Each structure stands twice: as C-alpha cells, then as structure tokens.
Amino acid sequence: MKINLTEDAIGKRLDQFLVQIIEDTSRTDVQNRIKEGLITVNGNTVKPNYKIKEDDLIEYLERELVDSEIKPENLNLDIIYEDEAVAVVYKPKGMVVHPAAGNNSGTFVNGLMYQLDSLSGINGELRPGIVHRIDKDTSGLLMVAKNDVAHRDLSEQLQNKTVDRKYVALVHGVIPHNKGTIDAPIGRNPKERQEMAVVDNGKDAVTHFNVIERYEDYTLLECVLETGRTHQIRVHMNYIGYPIVGDPKYGQKTKFKTNGQLLHAGTVGFIHPTTKEHLVFKSELPVEFTEVLNELGEFEV
C-alpha cells in the first residue's frame, strides 16, 4: 500500500510519521516492520530514523499471517451490495470484525469467507477483505474488498479522507449547540492500556457532529469521521463530557439495557474502485437502539 505524504511529513523521521497514520500500531512495531523490509522508501529498505524527503515513495505491506485455521461459517450476514470488486456488508452488534488469538470463529470474517466468492489478501489470513473496522458492540456498514486492487484503492480513499462515514450515537447530556467539531489526538491511555484516550502524543483525530434530536437528559447525534482512530467517537464524546449511552469503557451508568454502546455506523460512501461511480449506502438503526429512542419520545432519523 502506498503511503501518501502530508506537508508536515517532510523532514520528519520515517518511524515518527508512520506511527501517526497507521492504525493500531506502536513506534516499536513500526520500527520492526521497517527493519523487516515491510516498509520501504523508493523501493529500498531504510533505517527507522530516515528523514522523509518531498518526492519519496513510501510503501507499506502487512505481515502475512499463517496457520490461522480460519474457517468459513454461515453467519447469515446481510450483504447490502456486492459486485466483482467490492461489497458492503452489515455487521451486527456483538460480532467481532476479525479473528484474533483464541478467537477463530463467529467473527465477521468467518461469515464473509462463507458468503463471498473472493476476498482481498493484503491484510493477511486473519483479515481478508477488511479495509476498515468498527468495534464489536458497534453495529453498521463496512466496505469489503474482494481483490487487492480494490483494497488498495479503498485504503487510499480512507487515507485521503474521502470516504463518507456517518454514525448515529445517543449520548448522555443535552448538547446546547447544533453542531461541533472535536479535534483532539488519540492514543493509548497511559493509565489503562486496554483503553484509548485523548493524549498529547496521540494520532490526529477529528470528529464532526450534528444534533438530530434532544431529549430531557440525552442527545441523539450524527457523527462524521474525518479520521478513523480506535474507539474515536467513543473517546471524543467522553472527552467533551457527553459519553455514549451504554459504553462499557468510556460511558456511565444507564437505566437502559443496551449490551454495549448505542453507536451505529449508518452510512458509508466511496468511489467505486473500478467504475469510479460515487456510491452511498445506508442502514436503519438496530431494534435495540430504536427501542431506547421510543422510550425517550418520538424521533425521526
């Protein structure tokens, strides 16, 4: 995958730049990948402290994962759209996107392997077809790449921030203004390594939001991702004092039985890698979400 350079990358150390733009990684991991030759500059292996130049071509390859023993499973996934290059598939709440150590079944990937005739291989055997992710207890739409050409194209669109990703979230508290932008870097929480947090040395993270409806003690929002950091919307909303209802990591106690955060990836839009047509797909809120809203009062999404 080609890494697009930003203006602030020029003159920066290679490892420092990459840790800011590669999801779910650390500086040590980036340095190891550079040493393994998985990250190259102008086709050559360089040192982690290499200083980036204006016309450099940086390419990044995922490690090939072997002996994964990941098997197709009929999970009856809802395929919203499919052609020879891409698919848009609904991930239900409670389902992990891809297998990990000790969890090789029941994931979104297991279902994709059963229902789709091909998947890209760029992300290795544990994440075939996976271009981006949403959390286990977040429901909604995911783009899926069926070949490597489509995968590279969709990844580049994500990197260039041209993919439309809109979420619906119910948060604690009544937000007084109709719209806002949260621009705060996100990284690993130094006090709790299983959580993310807004930290000074984190990766750039930007979330836009618009108020859909206000209730007595809650606000229904549309959140638009400009970047895609781990737990981004959940961390950002908690950071400004309006945590997502039902969020077990970043939220607060709630009277509703939600089995996780009320956060739904309802819209995804992108340029088709082959036809170059702009496609937009939407999905309705899950029943659990609408039941909570019905308790709060009438609403329209």
How far apart are the C-alpha atoms of 129 and 124, rounded to whole Å?
9
The Cα-based distances of 196 to 25, 27, 61, 225, 235 in angstroms read 13, 16, 25, 17, 7
The Cα-based distances of 130 to 21, 97, 121 in angstroms read 17, 8, 9
Cα torsion through 101, 104, 105, 110, rounded to 10 = 120
Out of 15, 135, 153, 247, the active site residue is 135
Query: Which two tokens mark 140?
Result: 């909604």
Which amino acid does the sequence have at 106? G
DSSP 205-262: -EEEEEEEEE-SSEEEEEEEESS--TTHHHHHHHHTT-PBTT-TTT----SS--SS--
Alpha helices (runs of H) in the chain, residue ranges in sequence order: 14-21, 27-35, 108-115, 148-159, 232-239, 287-296
- SS3 for 81? strand
135 catalytically annotated: yes
Q: Which residue has the tokens 């996107």?
A: 97
Which amino acid does the sequence have at 299? F
DSSP-derived pairing of the beta strands 164-172 and 218-225: antiparallel
Terminal alpha carbon distance of the chain? 37
Active-site positions read: 135
